Structure 1
Amino acid sequence: MLLRFTVANFASFRDETELTVISDRRHEDLAVQPVPRSQQWALPVAGIFGPNAAGKSNFIHALAFMRGAVLNSHQRWRPRQEIPRRPFLLDPEKANDPSEFTIEFVAEGVRYEFGFQCNSKEFLSEWLYSYPEGRPRKIYDRRAGSPIDFGPTLHGQKVQVERMVRPNSLFLSAAVANNHEQLLPVFDWFSDDLRIAWETNFDARLRETRHYLETHDSKSILALLKYADLGVSDVSFSDVKLPPEQAAKIAELIQQIDSEAVDVSPDEISAGVDVELSHVIEGHDFKLPLELESSGTRTWLSIVGPIISTLMHGCVLVIDELDARLHHHLAAQFIRLFQDPRTNPHGAQLLFNTHDAALLGPDAVATLRRDQVWLTEKVDGATALYPLTDYKVRSIENVEKRYLGGRYGGLPFFDEELLEIVISEVEAAGS
């Protein structure tokens, strides 16, 4: 369960910026979840709206950077490798200032706060607190140049792990890599419960859809495919086999590179995957390869697996550009799956960004509440992120209309004088 995320000096976020999905209202008709040891509730959905280049995707990139640092900094980053952060570059002073990331979440029923500061060479600080009784309890606090301050509840080989931590790696990453079981719930939340979907991991998402389609959850996958009204009645995956001698050579090479891959069989080696979708037209079944399907169909096929997995296990699914290839009504139905307690009984959450103002309209299938709507705009080149709750919005107010009218900001500005330059150039070319 995600509660809040804060970032400063990363990409277009110059100043400290926070998004929270904690609500003081229960919203009886939404799939909210109680925040442990509090009178607050975690919302199932939050959407970030705003114009192009306002920083909507950068917020997700910041979240992905933090996740990547936890999962990879100790084992995959080279000892002298620079930390791949992206400081705010439009202010010369910020380029050398540290970037900071803080996240609050619930893992295995316990609320945690984890965060770190880093520059391009080292992690300057790192901290982890839990809230088992509603008050913060220190697990550890790390400051560059000083011994790590361990809380009384952290046991295991913490001092031994401290000696292994490099300046460019996180203690959390090093501890779990060295089998520190007490910190596994925190690491596993980043690894398994925080899931990010964007264009670059299309193939991985498609594999997950295939996995669920070929297991006992196939009915759910097919139901969502048909529910989207894409004309798809079935889908099949098949591996493209290599000639036996080529597969044997590749299996041998894998075993030489990875000593643990001793059980790799040539039968497991494939040259790719063929995907076919069935369409029933006037009683006849027609099969089309995935590459001939529309971009919307391909996008939906790749996301139904993660949707089912997220809803089943109560994870957090983060979507970059929800409306990029999905029709407005299908995107709204996507949100509805997470909003509705019947389809989301385990407290799964959806965080997305979009340009689709119709999702704010009175006729939207899944109405977003005020505390679920966040807006972005650029101020002096830096992204400002703020909630709709900063404005007084009446329950009968048409939020979509007011938003498109500029009532809440977060809209692009079109300079008509610049358009006149285009008009004059076009006219001159025709004369």
Structure 2
Amino acid sequence: MLLQFSVTNHRSIKNTAIISMKASKDNSMKESLVSPDGKKELVPVMALYGANAAGKSNLLHALLLMREMVCGSYAKPLKGAALPQEPFAFEDGASEPTSFEIIYYYQGIKYAYGYSFDKEHILAEYLYHWPNGREALIFSREKARFEFRENVQEQMTLAGRTADNRLYLVSSNEWNCAQTEKAYQWFFEKLMGLTGTGMSLETTLSAIEKGGRKKQRILKEILYADLGIKDVLITGSKENPNVLAVHCLVDRTGKETEYSLLMGQESMGTQRFFSRIGMWMEALQNGTVLVVDEIESSMHPLLTRHLIEMIQDATVNTNHAQLIFTTHDTGLLDLTLLRRDQIWFAEKDEKNLQTDIYALTEFSPRKGENISKGYLQGRYGAIPFIGGTDAWEE
């Protein structure tokens, strides 16, 4: 489970931005909270609001980029290859390093992992854990200088094999280092998501192909969503699958006839829901942290709300999955759906073009306050400034 994430100097985020899943003292909807250890309480869902170009997507991009650098497409750069740094652009002189830090729980143990980098080098890296409730260093790194507390000789050997543009968390796991294995596994097993408006069918198609309970669960959700689809079939090759949505038509005599459409011929909302429901099912089954940009894109508000309610409902979310999403849908600013500590904002300063991230709780809203109305009135910031009629005057 995710406790906290922070990022410095990434895209529009120049100064350190922090989001936290730690539950406040709010007593509302306590039954929806999740706990990694039976003591600490975390929220299962975080909604991030803000105007277009405010930087809310950049925060999610940073979180998923961290995953990509640990176990994805940027995890194994060739020696001398450039690192995927995207520093704050509106600044004279040489750019500062980019830094990520994440605090999470895996198998009941708390970990804190972070690193800083520029376009050529990993400049610093560290990993701590709390195996007995007390902080303990696993490793730290300042460029080529490493420090270890356990299995020092072997880890020094592994450190010597780690190129200056690679993370030690990655290279040590290639050599089955027991000290870093579990911390690495969390990124691989427990963090996934999508940025932008792209669609990934891989997870849904995998469940459909396996059949059985996984397929039936997806078909049940599609039926619940009232998309008019009775079944989903996959033909063609693994490289070029044809996804067919089966519809059932009933004539005046009650006779049923089945027709199939390629999924690409379905509405954009249907395609969007189909692409995401597999990820939702996998997250609920595995207790994954699911990161989604523009959750409402092309979907009806009631479908969006249903996806959120699945994570909020402790009877459905039995494995403590978490969801972090960006949205413009003010209909979700509903204190019967989300607690006050689950609503966050991104606002860009119009003078220095830097993004600031902050929580609704900083405004101490009343329990029965109309959050949607207050947000649209500008009470919490993070809305666009519409410049009146001047733009239309000649």
Same fold (TM over 0.5): yes
Aligned mate of 2:311, from 333, 338, 342 = 338
Instruction: Give 1:382's match in structure 2, choosing from 346, 354, 357.
Output: 354
Residue matched to 1:405: 377
Which residue of structure 2 aligns with residue 320 of structure 1? Answer: 293
Is the contact between residue 208 and residue 306 of structure 1 (CA under 8 Å) also seen in structure 2? no
- State the Cα distance separating 1:204 from its structure 2 match: 2.6
Structure-1-length-normalised TM-score: 0.85
3-state SS in 2 of match to 1:416: coil
Cα shift at 1:207 = 3.1
Q: Find the counterpart in structure 2 of residue 32 from structure 1.
A: 33
Deviations 1:30-55 (A, max 9, x none): 43222438x53111100101111111
Q: Spell out the pairing of 1:146-295 with structure 2 (5 A cutoff).
A: 146=145, 148-152=146-150, 157-198=154-195, 199-200=197-198, 202-211=200-209, 214-240=211-237, 270-282=238-250, 283-295=256-268
Q: Distance in 1 between matches of 2:176 and 2:170?
A: 10
Paired position in structure 2 for 1:103: 102
User: What is the aligned partner in structure 1 of residue 253 from structure 2?
Assistant: none
* C-alpha separation in 1, matches of 2:111 and 2:91: 33
The answer on whether the counterparts of 1:7 and 1:16 sit within 8 Å (CA) in structure 2 is yes
Contact 2:96 2:118 in 1 (8 A): yes
Q: Percent identity?
A: 30
User: Hey, what does 1:419 align to over in structure 2?
Assistant: 391
Q: How far apart are 1:188 and its partner, in Å?
A: 1.3
From the CA coordinates, give the structure whose radius of gyration is larger.
Answer: 1
Instruction: Identify the residue that residue 261 of structure 1 maps to in structure 2.
Output: none
Shift in CA distance, 328/109, structure 1 to aligned 2, threshold 3 Å = same
Amino acid at match of 2:339: R
| Cα distance per residue 1:144-190 (max 9 Å; x no partner) | 142x11124x5683122111111100000100112223322111111
Give distance in 2, aligned partners of 1:278 and 1:127: 51
The correspondence for 2:339, drawn from 338, 359, 369, is 369
SS in 2 for 1:216: helix
Structure 2 partner of 1:63: 63
Task: Look up the equivalent residue of 2:262 and give its one-letter code.
Answer: P
Quote how far apart the aligned CAs of 1:10 are.
Answer: 0.4
Output one character per residue of 1:290-312: Cα deviation in whole Å (capped at 9) or x when no partner: 11101111111111111111101
Q: Secondary structure at the match of 2:375?
A: helix
Alignment-mate amino acid for residue 50 of structure 2: G
Does the 8 Å contact 1:375/1:410 carry over to 2?
yes
Aligned residue in 1 for 2:50: 50
Aligned to 1:157, the other structure's residue is in SS state helix
Report the counterpart of residue 133 of structure 1 in structure 2.
Answer: 132
Counterpart of 2:305 in structure 1: which amino acid? A
Q: Is contact 2:3-2:22 (8 Å) kept?
A: yes
Q: Distance in 1 between matches of 2:300 and 2:165?
A: 43
**Once the 2 structures are TM-superposed, how far is the Cα of residue 287 of structure 1 from its aligned partner?**
1.5
Change in 2 beyond 3 A, CA 1:271/1:340: closer
* Cα deviation digits, residues 269-319 of structure 1 (max 9, x gap): x55011111222323322111111011111111111111111011111111
Deviation, structure 1 residue 200? 4.4
Alpha-carbon offset, residue 352 of structure 1: 0.5
Distance in 1, Cα, partners of 2:29 & 2:360: 20
Q: How many equivalent pairs are there?
A: 385
Rounded to whole Å, the distance in 1 between the matches of 2:239 and 2:138 is 47
TM-aligned CA distance change 1:90 to 1:75, over 3 Å: closer
Superposed displacement of residue 106, structure 1: 0.5
Question: C-alpha distance in 1, partners of 2:274/2:152?
Answer: 45
Deviation above 4 Å: which 4+ runs of structure 1?
A: 26-29, 72-75
Whole-Å separation in 2 of the counterparts to 1:30 and 1:359 = 19
With 214-223 and 290-299 compared, the bigger mean Cα shift is at 214-223
1:109 Cα offset (Å): 1.1
TM-score where L is the length of structure 2: 0.92
Secondary structure of the 1:120 match is coil
**Aligned equivalents of 1:74, 1:183: Cα separation in 2:** 19
AA at the equivalent of 1:202:
S
Whole-angstrom CA distance in 1 between matches of 2:289 and 2:75:
25
Gap change, CA 1:156 and 1:334, over 3 Å in 2: farther
C-alpha distance in 1 between matches for 2:172 and 2:50: 39
Q: Identify, as 1 or 2, the structure richer in helix.
A: 1
Supply the RMSD in Å over aligned alpha carbons: 2.0
Give the distance between the partners of 2:244 and 2:129, measured in 1 at CA: 48
- Measured in 2, the distance between the counterparts of 1:271 and 1:193 equals 26
Q: Which consecutive unaligned segments of at least 5 residues does structure 1 have? A: 241-269, 425-431
